[in-house]
A = this chain, B = another copy of it.
Amino acid sequence: MSLPKVLIIGCGFGGLFAARALRGAPVDVTVVDRTNHHLFQPLLYQVATAGLAAPAIAEPIRRILGGQSNTSVLYGEAQRVDVAARTVILEDGEALTYDHLILATGATDSYFGHDAWRAHAPGLKTLHDAFEIRRRVLLAFEHAERERDPTRRAAWLTFVVIGGGATGVELAGTLAEIARHTLKGEYRRYDPRNARVVLVEAIDRVLPPYPPELSERARLQLERLGVTVWLGKRVSGIDAQGVQLGGERLEAKTVVWCAGIAATPIGATIRVPLGHGGRVIVAPDLSVPGHPEIQVIGDLALLPGHQPPIPGVAPAAKQMGRHAARNVLAALRGRPTRAFRYRDYGQLATIGRSAAVAMVGRIRFWGWLAWVTWLTAHIFFLIGFRNRLVVLIDWAWAYWTFERSARIVTRAAGDDARGQTPVDKS
C-alpha cells in the first residue's frame, strides 16, 4: 500500500515550511523547484548591492530537506496543473501525480503591460535578478570613469528606483550609501558622491502599507541618506537612456523596477476565477473552492475574507505553509480542515544605515532603534535557517564537516563586454 502523495510546487518560505511540517508524517512528499536553492529573500537586496555573497542567503533545498526521509526534491519547472488528472506537468512534459497539491510558486514582476521596459529596468525577485542589478550598478560607475562627456557621464551616475515599497526603499537607501561612502576616493575623474539616486513613487507617499506617519519618517530618512524622493510621479516610458515621467525626462543608464508584482502564471492553469494581480482566490482553509485536494499559499494566494489583508511577507508565507500542511494531514485523517488566520508579529522596513521604520502592535518607531531591531530580527531568522555568519569559517572547517558553502546554481544573464544592456552599446 503506497502512501498518499503530497506534491509541493515551489520552495520559497511557503513551500519550505509546508514540507518541513510534513516531516515524519505518513505521506510521500515531493518538492519541485526551478532552482536548486531556497532563497532568504528579505536580504536579496544586499546581494543586488554587493553587500553579501549569494551563498550567504541561499541554501540548497536538498541540504535543508535531505534528512527528511519521506521527502524527495526535484529540480524542474512546473508548467501547469491538470486538475482532472491530478497531475502537474513539468517543462519537459514529465507528469507528477498527486493526492494533495500545495501550490507555492509566489509572485513575479509586473510591468503593467509594458513588457518592453523589463530590458531597461530589471526587477528583484531571484539571485539572477540580483546579479544583474549588481552588474549594472557596478559597471555604471566604471563607464562613468571612462566617459569624458559630462552629460553622458551624468546619465551613468543617475540611478532610478521605480516603486516606493519596501524593496524600492531599501535599494535606494543602499545605493546612496554605496555612492557616498563605499566608493569614496576610488575614482580619478569624478567624485562618486555626486551620483544621484532618485526614488520614484506614483502615489503620494513611500511604504504605502504603513501608516502615513511612518511613510513620512521613511521619506525623511531617505533624503538624509542622499536619496531624492519623487512622490506622485507616474512612469510613462523607460528606454536605454532613461525614464519618462509624463512631460518630464530623467536621463539615467541604470533603472530598477520595484513597482509591481503579479502572481506566477501557473495559478491560472487551475481554471478557477482569479483575483487582483492574477492571484488564486482561496477558501478560508487555503484550499481552492471545489478542489479540497489543492491548497494555494503565499504570494500566489488571495484570501478574500481576511481583514486586514495578508501582507506579501515571509512570515505570512511561512504561516500559510505550515497551515496548509496541517490541513492536508487533517484531511487524510478524516478530520475537518481549519481556517487560516495570519498572526502579525510586527512590521519592519529597513531604509539604510541606521534608518528603518517599525510597527509592533500599536507601537511605532524609526531611526537607529528600528534599524537595530530589523538587523537583530534578520540575523536571528538567517541563523535559524542556517548559521550564515560563519559561512567563510565554514570553509576553514570544511575539513571536519564535509559541508560546502556555495552550492548554488543561478540562472545567468547574457553578458556583453561594454554595453549596459544588449541594446545599448553607447
Contact = CB atoms under 8 A, between A and B. Distances in A.
B138 A409 contact: yes
Interface in A382-426: 388-393, 395-396, 398-399, 402-415, 417-418
B142 A49 contact: no
A185 interface: yes
A306 to B, nearest CB: 35
Contact of A186 (B34, B66, B393, B411): B66
A186 B63 contact: yes
B389 A396 contact: yes
Indicate the member of A51, A388, A396 with the most B CB atoms within 10 Å.
Answer: A51
Contacts of A393: 389, 392
A216 interface: no
Oligomer copy total: 2
Contacts of A396: 379, 389
A117 to B, nearest CB: 21
B402 A181 contact: yes
Interface stretch (A72-80, A233-241, A288-296): A72-80
Given A138-B36, A393-B389, A182 B53 contact: no
Interface stretch (A54-62, A261-269, A331-339): A54-62
A156 to B, nearest CB: 12
Contacts of A407: 50, 138, 182
A353 B403 contact: no
A414 B417 contact: no
Nearest to A47: B406
A135 interface: yes
Interface in A336-392: 353-354, 379, 388-392
A131 interface: yes
A35 to B, nearest CB: 10
Given A56-B395, A91-B417, A74 B146 contact: yes
Contacts of A353: 399
A52 interface: yes
A189 to B, nearest CB: 8
26 contacts: A36-B139, A46-B395, A51-B405, A53-B53, A53-B391, A53-B405, A53-B406, A56-B395, A62-B187, A63-B186, A66-B186, A72-B188, A73-B145, A76-B146, A91-B417, A94-B146, A134-B409, A138-B407, A138-B408, A182-B404, A182-B407, A354-B399, A389-B392, A391-B391, A392-B393, A411-B417
Given A76-B418, A391-B392, 19 more contacts: A36-B138, A36-B139, A52-B395, A53-B55, A54-B406, A60-B186, A67-B185, A72-B188, A72-B189, A73-B186, A75-B146, A134-B409, A138-B407, A177-B402, A182-B402, A182-B407, A354-B399, A388-B392, A412-B415
